[in-house]
Chains A and B, each alone.
Chain A
Amino acid sequence: MDSSNLDINHFNILGGLSVQKQSDSDYVIALAGNPNVGKSTIFNTLTGMKQHTGNWPGKTVENTQGYYKLNRQGYILVDIPGSYSLMARSAEEEVARDFICFGNPDAIIVVCDATSLQRNLNLVLQIIETGKRTVVCVNLLDEANQRKIQLNLDLLEKRLGVPVVGTTARSNQGLDQLMATLAVSLKKPTPESIIEYPEYVQQSIAKLAPLIKPYTGNHLSAEWIAARLLDGDQSFYQSLTDFLGLDLKEQTAIKNTLKEIKNNFRKSGITQLELEDAMAEVFVLKSIEIFQGVVKEPAIPSDKKDRKLDKLFTSKTTGFPIMFLLLLLVFWITISGANVPSAILAKALFGLEDWLANAAITIGVPTILIDMLIHGVFNVVAWVVSVMLPPMAIFFPMFTLLEDFGYLPRVAFNLDRLFKSCDACGKQALTMCMGFGCNAVGVTGSKIIDSPRERLIAIITNNFVPCNGRFPILISIISIFLVGSTVGSLNTFFGALILVTTILFGVGMTFLISKILSMTVLKGVPSSFTLELPPYRKPQVGKVIVRSIIDRTLKVLGRAIIAAAPAGLIIWTLNNLQMGNTTLLNSITSLFDPFGKALGMDGAIIIGFILGLPANEIAMPIIIMIYSAQRGLIELEGAALGQLLIQNGWTWVTAISTLLFTLMHWPCATTLLTIRKETQSSKWTIISFLVPTLAGIIITFLFNSVVSLFF
């Protein structure tokens, strides 16, 4: 076979995404690196995009691409998930590895943390070994400076044999030079690996490489592939097979040579384990060798401040109280801050509705259309916006500040013991935190969990964390029924306290259900895992607020509106179709009444949750609409809303039952679709639907049975 004929189209490009080039001459550049080294910041600054960054491993779980132009040359930058090694352990690391190795990027920028360069060099050396064009970006120079770490980047460049550029991405320093260096390096030959395996390994690679070359052409380094055939990473081999479209180890010449090599090893008394150790250690030892002389660190570790903060956030005495207080603080600020803007927004939007309706009448739009589109669709959308926007605009920035600061991995560190006792993974705490914002995000984020079994547990139980769409229901029920409707700081404080208790109950259910899953359908023992506790970083308050509002709030809101608009149409139709002397909506409601009553609620509440499938935030408005029998959702505030509910038979038992059912029922449509996408399985999607639903039914039923014994 003549390898010079091998065109790239001959291979199956992997990497889980199709790169969208604007022109054929565009270069595709992968941004790789360890987790939490500032890849996303570099990506955002260069491409002007608003990819959210977070100070914890696993932030970038999906590939994101953006465009950069320099001297008329276009570059597609691909921000890939952080990884410690090309020996992938989690699904997200596999995504990163597949893109670097088999996604056919023209070059790879490996971003490193200047404060932990030695560890970062391991990945740099692995990527250089692949034979792809590599530019090393040593980021976070400002932090290194603060810690009095001195770096000699010229020496590093000399030792690595690839260009090295120092940057401080947060303040946009060095990024122009990074791209200029990249442009130059694209015209130069690909780098040579500087890794020297032990002699016996080198000899084996030399035997295998010429046999591999005909299958890889110039697209993959044959020496690098030969080394991988020896160290035997199964997941890597699978991707290689997919990329080549053939099983390399089954090709006669390679098969025989491999056999011969293994035989020789056996004769010389070299076990596979010794071989693999030697091939892993050579990277670490080379990293140490390069590191020495390049980096001068102060004699005493320079992370005193971080360790002090860790003592505060993770010690036996203060770890849990601080976690509780932070949760309480976040919700207290959210509740007390959201009240007024919510009311103002509602007033404005419903005023707009009347104005729109009047204007439509004036220009002669048919009444049925006005009813349907303005009092139907617009009305529901107005509800969703006024109920959701203010709490989200307060909650997300606060949450993002905690995230950027680096607090979330500490939560995982504190809670891991509990997850372990449920045979689950501590990183599930991180996916739960994502769930507060949006359960669909929590489900996608579960890719950070190494073990597929533990990842499924995290996916199925994510719904026990109330998302931002459910907070408004919880908050309004709590403020109307459980703390009185007057707005005072003491009341909002109690409101936040009850909300946090509800959330903690959800967390407790997460543990319980995780344990039950581990004992039944997802049997297994907790797997090994490593959790990095990154340095604390001062959040960039201004950027965080802007970014979390643009990036998260508007995105989530947009999705809610897309779901709410058609729901508005359905609700309007059901409420306007007469069946005998009642509406279709009312007759369906009475159908569900017995079921609702058994769970301490009623038919209207159940219908609210069912029609709230597209977006939870419309559940409460639907319930109110059924009660008030008005043709369209109406705006009721505080006391008036409370009265309406009481007139319809609500008691504190109804309130608590609804609270519990809000916390535990089916995931919303977006989340279900995401679960389907992530698990690639209808079975697990159905289980994810059933588990929280059954939990909700059982818990509310038990609650009502117990209550009826006493009252």
Chain B
Amino acid sequence: MTEIIPLSDLMPGSKAIITGLCAEGGMRRRLQDLGFVEGSEVDCVNISPLGDPTAYRISSTIIALRREDADTIKVKITPS
């Protein structure tokens, strides 16, 4: 079984499955509305020139998240 890591640790080019969400309040709901729910597939697309934020592909769209927000999403890496 692969270990569970925060989404912010996902490297560009790798894919993962969301296992849980720790964000709170309005941001939690916004992430859910954008498709960040348990079981969804997410992949890390690229990192901004200054190292933060990072762009992720979720529900066929590209969403950039800051490290703190990506930290609140827990994922399990899918072997490529």
Chain A residues in the interface with B (C-beta under 8 A)? 84-85, 87, 89, 115-119, 122-123, 233, 276-277, 280-281, 283-285, 297, 301, 303, 306-307, 310-311, 314-316, 319-320, 413-414, 416-418, 420, 426, 526, 528-534
Residues on A with C-beta less than 8 A from B53 are 413, 416-417, 426, 531
A119 B59 Cβ-Cβ under 8 A: yes
B61 A119 Cβ-Cβ under 8 A: yes
A281 B46 Cβ-Cβ under 8 A: no
Q: How far is the CA of A319 from the CA of B53 in the complex (A)?
A: 14
Q: How far is the CA of A314 from the CA of B29 in the complex (A)?
A: 28
Give the residues from 44 to 73 in chain B that come closer than 8 angstroms, CB to CB, to chain A: 45-46, 48-53, 55, 57-66, 68-69
Question: Which chain B residue shows the least CB distance to A88?
Answer: B26
B63 A532 Cβ-Cβ under 8 A: yes
Q: How far is the CA of A303 from the CA of B69 in the complex (A)?
A: 25
B37 A530 Cβ-Cβ under 8 A: no
Residue in B21, B26, B50 whose CB lies within 8 Å of A417: B50
Residues on A with C-beta less than 8 A from B9 are none
Q: A123-B33, A281-B32, A418-B50 are in contact. List 12 more A-B contacts (CB 8 A).
A: A119-B61, A233-B29, A276-B28, A276-B29, A281-B37, A416-B50, A417-B53, A526-B66, A528-B23, A528-B68, A530-B31, A533-B62
B30 A284 Cβ-Cβ under 8 A: no
Residues on A with C-beta less than 8 A from B38 are 281
Size bracket of the B interface: 35 or more
| A–B pairs, 10, beta carbons within 8 Å | A85-B33, A87-B26, A87-B29, A284-B40, A314-B46, A414-B48, A526-B66, A528-B30, A528-B68, A532-B62
Give chain A nearest CB distance to B6 CB in angstroms: 15
A315 B50 Cβ-Cβ under 8 A: no
Contact pattern, B 14-30, Cβ under 8 Å of A = 1, otherwise 0: 00000001010011111
Q: How far is the CA of A416 from the CA of B69 in the complex (A)?
A: 14
Give chain B nearest CB distance to A663 CB in angstroms: 25
Q: How far is the CA of A303 from the CA of B34 in the complex (A)?
A: 19
Question: Which chain A residue shows the least CB distance to B49?
Answer: A319
Q: How far is the CA of A311 from the CA of B49 in the complex (A)?
A: 10
Question: Which chain A residue shows the least CB distance to B52?
Answer: A417
Q: How far is the CA of A420 from the CA of B51 in the complex (A)?
A: 12
B30 A320 Cβ-Cβ under 8 A: no
Q: How far is the CA of A104 from the CA of B29 in the complex (A)?
A: 26
Residues on B with C-beta less than 8 A from A119 are 34-35, 58-61
A413 B55 Cβ-Cβ under 8 A: yes
**With A301-B57, A311-B46 as given contacts, are A87 and B64 in contact (CB-CB < 8 Å)?**
no
Residues on A with C-beta less than 8 A from B32 are 277, 280-281, 284
Q: How far is the CA of A311 from the CA of B48 in the complex (A)?
A: 10
Chain B residues in the interface with A (C-beta under 8 A)? 21, 23, 26-35, 37-38, 40, 45-46, 48-53, 55, 57-66, 68-69
Give chain B nearest CB distance to A233 CB in angstroms: 8
**With A119-B59, A301-B57, A311-B46 as given contacts, are A280 and B33 in contact (CB-CB < 8 Å)?**
yes
Q: How far is the CA of A369 from the CA of B32 in the complex (A)?
A: 67
Interface pairs A-B: 10 shortest CB-CB = A417-B50, A119-B59, A85-B33, A319-B49, A528-B27, A280-B32, A533-B62, A531-B64, A116-B60, A116-B61
Q: How far is the CA of A532 from the CA of B58 in the complex (A)?
A: 10
Q: How far is the CA of A306 from the CA of B30 in the complex (A)?
A: 25
Question: Which chain A residue shows the least CB distance to B36?
Answer: A284
Residues on A with C-beta less than 8 A from B31 are 530
B29 A307 Cβ-Cβ under 8 A: no
Residues on A with C-beta less than 8 A from B49 are 314-316, 319-320, 414
Q: How far is the CA of A255 from the CA of B32 in the complex (A)?
A: 29
Q: How far is the CA of A283 from the CA of B36 in the complex (A)?
A: 12
A310 B52 Cβ-Cβ under 8 A: no
Pair count A-B, CB < 8 A: 124
Residues on B with C-beta less than 8 A from A233 are 29
B35 A284 Cβ-Cβ under 8 A: yes
Question: Which chain A residue shows the least CB distance to B69?
Answer: A528
Give chain A nearest CB distance to B44 CB in angstroms: 12
Question: Which chain A residue shows the least CB distance to B54?
Answer: A413
Residues on A with C-beta less than 8 A from B45 are 307, 310
Residues on A with C-beta less than 8 A from B27 are 89, 528
Give chain B nearest CB distance to A57 CB in angstroms: 11
Q: How far is the CA of A414 from the CA of B60 in the complex (A)?
A: 21
Residues on A with C-beta less than 8 A from B62 are 303, 306, 310, 532-534
**With A118-B35, A310-B55 as given contacts, are A413 and B30 in contact (CB-CB < 8 Å)?**
no
Q: How far is the CA of A533 from the CA of B59 in the complex (A)?
A: 13
Residues on B with C-beta less than 8 A from A285 are 37
Q: How far is the CA of A122 from the CA of B30 in the complex (A)?
A: 11
Residues on B with C-beta less than 8 A from A123 are 33
A416 B52 Cβ-Cβ under 8 A: yes
B46 A307 Cβ-Cβ under 8 A: yes
Give chain A nearest CB distance to B12 CB in angstroms: 10
Q: How far is the CA of A531 from the CA of B54 in the complex (A)?
A: 10
B66 A89 Cβ-Cβ under 8 A: no
Give chain B nearest CB distance to A136 CB in angstroms: 17
Residues on B with C-beta less than 8 A from A314 are 46, 48-49, 55
Residues on B with C-beta less than 8 A from A532 are 61-64
Residue in A87, A281, A533 whose CB lies within 8 Å of B55: A533
Residues on A with C-beta less than 8 A from B30 are 84-85, 87, 89, 528, 530
Q: How far is the CA of A122 from the CA of B23 in the complex (A)?
A: 19
Question: Which chain A residue shows the least CB distance to B58?
Answer: A119
Q: How far is the CA of A311 from the CA of B23 in the complex (A)?
A: 29
Question: Which chain A residue shows the least CB distance to B55?
Answer: A533
Residues on A with C-beta less than 8 A from B55 are 310, 314, 413, 533
Q: How far is the CA of A84 from the CA of B63 in the complex (A)?
A: 12
Residue in B37, B50, B63, B66 whose CB lies within 8 Å of A528: B66
Give chain B nearest CB distance to A238 CB in angstroms: 14
**With A277-B32, A307-B45, A413-B64 as given contacts, are A118 and B50 in contact (CB-CB < 8 Å)?**
no
Question: Which chain A residue shows the least CB distance to B59?
Answer: A119
Residue in B40, B51, B52, B64 whose CB lies within 8 Å of A530: B64
**With A119-B60, A281-B38 as given contacts, are A530 and B69 in contact (CB-CB < 8 Å)?**
yes
Q: How far is the CA of A316 from the CA of B37 in the complex (A)?
A: 30
Q: How far is the CA of A417 from the CA of B66 in the complex (A)?
A: 8
Residues on A with C-beta less than 8 A from B69 are 528-530
B66 A84 Cβ-Cβ under 8 A: no
Residues on A with C-beta less than 8 A from B66 are 416, 420, 526, 528-529
Q: How far is the CA of A319 from the CA of B46 in the complex (A)?
A: 12
Give chain A nearest CB distance to B49 CB in angstroms: 4
**With A87-B26, A115-B60, A116-B60 as given contacts, are A414 and B50 in contact (CB-CB < 8 Å)?**
yes
Q: How far is the CA of A171 from the CA of B64 in the complex (A)?
A: 30
Residue in B40, B46, B52 whose CB lies within 8 Å of A420: B52
Residue among B66, B68, B69 with the highest chain A CB neighbour number at 10 A? B66
Question: Which chain A residue shows the least CB distance to B26?
Answer: A89
